[in-house]
Structure 1
Amino acid sequence: MTLPSRDTIVTYPGGALEAESIVLHIAPAGDGLVAVVTETTSFHPVDAAWPDQPADTGSLSTGGPEIPIVDAVVAATDGTELFLGSDIPVRKGSEGWSFLVAHLVADGAAIAEGDTATVRADASARRALSVGHTACHAAALALNAALAGNWSKAAREDALGAPDFDGIAIASSRIVPGGSVDVYRLNKSLRRAGFDTAAVAADELGELAASVTATIAEWAAAGAPVRIDREGDGLTDRRYWVAELPVGTASIACGGTHVESLAELGDVRVEFEAGDDAGTPVLTMRTHAEPPR
C-alpha cells in the first residue's frame, strides 16, 4: 500500500481503549522493530516534540495471537518516506504532510498491509496516566494562582486569568502513573518579565506546597467535571482539556488522555524542590494522586 495521505484517526481522546482498523503501512523502525500504521487507533503515542505523556501499553492482533506493542510514536510522511519521532523534519500540521500513529512491534510479527487489526490499550495503565495528566493540569492552575502575587508586571494569563507562571517558566513536564514531574526555570528572562524569583525560596516551599495542595483538594471535593473538546478526529486536530472548576471554566490545549472528574484523583499532594541546572535555579513540582479504590 502507499503511504497514508491523511492523519491517523484517533479515538483515545474520547476514552476508547480498542479500535479495529485496516493496516495501511508497515516500515522498518530499527532495533528489530517495525512501525505499523493503521487508519484508526485507540493507542496514545508519545510525541517527540513534547514528550510529556508516555505511550499507552498494549497489543494488536489480526485474529491470531496478540502482538505486543513495544512503543507507539508520532510519525509523519510527505508521501515518499515515513519519519518516526525525533526524525520528523517538519512541524506538526505542516502543509503536504500527514501525521500518524506508528505502533512499534517486533519485526517478523504476523501482520501485513491490508490486514484488519484490532488495537488494544491496557486499561489500568491508561487510567494511571490519565489520572496523572489531569492532576498535572490542576496543579499547574493551582500553582499559578498561588504565585499570582509575585508578579510586578502584567504577564500573559492562564485559562483562569492568573499570570501563567507554568506556561512561561516550564522547562519540562513528564506525566507518570498517578502524577507528574514539572520543572521550571527561574532564569533572568523570568525576572525581566516581572516575576520575583527570590520569593520562591527553599524555606517557603512547604507553604507553597500546602497552598497548591489545598486548592486542588477543594476542586476535587467539588467534583469538578472534565471533558475533552475536539476540533476533529485526526491526530493533529486541536484538542482541549476543559474543567468546570468552582472558580470558572478552564480550557487548555492538550493532546493527552484524562479522567472525567477531579473527584477521580482522590487524595492529591504536591511537593516542591529547589535545584540548579548549570547555574540556573530551577523549581521542581511533583504531583501525586491517590484515586479512591
Structure 2
Amino acid sequence: MLCWFNGKYLDEKELFISPFDHGYLHGIGFYEHFRTYNGQVLLLEEHFHRLCNALNIYRIPMPYTIKDIQNVIEELWTAASREDCIFRLNVSAGRANEMLSPEYKKPNVIIFRRSLRQRTRGTEKNAIWLKTTRNSPEQPIRFKSHHFGNNILASFEVQNLETTEGFFLNTKGHIAEGITSNIFWVRDDILFTPSLSTGIVPGITRQWVIHAAKRLGIRVVEDIFFQHELINAYECFVTNSIEELVPISKVGRTRFLGEDGPIYQRLHQSYIDEIIQIMKRG
C-alpha cells in the first residue's frame, strides 16, 4: 500500500517511526478519519481545523497546509485506481526529551488509506448499553487522539461493530457517545444529543447534523441526559464520517423507527444532497 510520510510517498513496508516518538512513548498524537466521494472529502476543512486545534493545545506544529493534505489525498486516491477509500491523517508528536514540558519540533505526519467496505446507505444497526464507562478526556473537549484504550475495551463487549454500536455512559451516568459515533434521538419532534460537556468527541458529522436540523426548522437540544430519556424516544441514529447517518433499530429492549424515522429521513437526505454536490466538483 502506498502511504505518505513526512512529505514523501512510500510503500507501507518502508515506514518506520522511532520508538522514542512521544506518540509511542506517551500517546501524544492526533488523527482524523474521513472517506472520499469521487476523490473528494466532505467537510475536509472542518476535519483539518479540528486536528490543528488539538495540535495547538499540545504545542505540536503542523508543517503542512490543508491544500497539501488535499493534494496528497488526491494522489493516493489516483494511485488506488480512483477507488474511494477511508483515509487516516495521523500526526504524532515526534521525538523530544523525556522531561515534562517537552518541546515538539518535528512531528511525524502520515496519511494512509484502507478499503471502504460496501455498506448499503441507511442500513440499520442495533445498539447496546456498555458496561465500560466513558473515561474523562485530558482537556475540557475530547480530541481524536492516540489515547484509544477506552474504546478498545468497550469494543470487546460488542460481537460485531458492523451491525451493533455500543453506547457509553460517562462516570456520572450521563449518556455520552458510541464507540465510533455520536448519538442522536428524537422525541416530540425535537432532536436531542449529548452536550460536549459529557466528554464526547465533537464529531464533524455531528456538528453538520446540528446545523442542518436547524436549517430545516427542527429544534435541537444539546444537554445532559440519562438513559431513560433516550429509552422514551421514538427515533435514534448515530453519526460518523465513514458510515454517515446510521439509523438505530433498537437499544436493549427499546425499539425505534429505524430508517423509517421521519426526522432521520429528512436529515439523511440532506446529507446525501451534500455528497452529490461535492462529487460534482470531483
Scaled by the length of structure 2, the TM-score of the pair is 0.28
Bigger proportion of residues as helix = 2
Larger Rg: 1
| Greater share of strand | 1
